Chain A
């Protein structure tokens, strides 16, 4: 079975630009979460979506936004990029129902902002 997939794998942008990252969850999973992992740190929660609705939001500025599509795939958008946005962006999927669900991570998109 295919796991969580993310695209692109790597991305280089300059300050002020906009970026869109994409994620496809495990088949049958309806919830997608996004995390930011800065080098040497653990992942930090950005968003969670379930059935196209935002279920949770972490402590990130409004420059970060996301959405989920009818096929449960998701996009993370970041506007007005800053140098500090350079990180590994991880997508995780879970079943999304029945209380707490374990999350399975994709390989991530490595973003470098110059």
Chain B
């Protein structure tokens, strides 16, 4: 079992739709949760960062973490064609020798069509 599971999609939605992206994980030590956006042939760009459980909102983006279920989500409201990219979840336990190591999902490919 991989430590981080993410449905690769692809996911295709019309402009203006609400998008829900999800990841599950198995390591209960994970405390730091991130979402990265990666455009084709580019490096990942940090979108959201959350510590422990709860919600965090930034403009059209909302990140949710449910540690009891080992489940994290990213919601995109009023989706735009420019949101078309691969979305990667990443997480870390932030401890000791693994302090700097991020564990990634395989990414969900999103297309928003006009």
Q: Which of A13-21, A61-69, A77-85, A103-111 contacts B (4 or more CB under 8 A)?
A: A103-111
Show the binding face of A for B, using Cβ within 8 Å: 4, 31, 33, 35, 40-45, 48, 50, 55-56, 58, 90, 92, 94, 96, 99-108, 110
**What's the Cα separation between A112 and B57 when bound, in Å?**
39
Q: Is the CB of B44 within 8 A of A41?
A: no
Can you spell out 9 A-B residue pairs with CB atoms less than 8 angstroms apart? A33-B102, A42-B90, A42-B105, A48-B99, A90-B44, A103-B46, A104-B46, A107-B42, A108-B42
Q: Whose C-beta in chain A lies nearest to the C-beta of B105? A: A42
**What's the Cα separation between A56 and B92 when bound, in Å?**
13
Q: Is the CB of A42 within 8 A of B99?
A: no
Given A42-B106, A43-B102, A43-B104, does the pair A100, B92 have CB atoms closer than 8 Å? yes
Query: What residues on A are CB-neighbors of B106 within 8 Å?
Result: 40-42
Show the binding face of B for A, using Cβ within 8 Å: 4, 6, 8, 31-32, 34, 36, 41-46, 49, 88, 90, 92, 94, 97-107
- Indicate which residue in A4, A42, A96, A101 contacts B107 across the interface (CB closer than 8 Å): A42
Q: Whose C-beta in chain B lies nearest to the C-beta of A33? A: B100
**What's the Cα separation between A31 and B102 when bound, in Å?**
14
Query: What residues on B are CB-neighbors of A100 within 8 Å?
Result: 31-32, 92, 94, 99
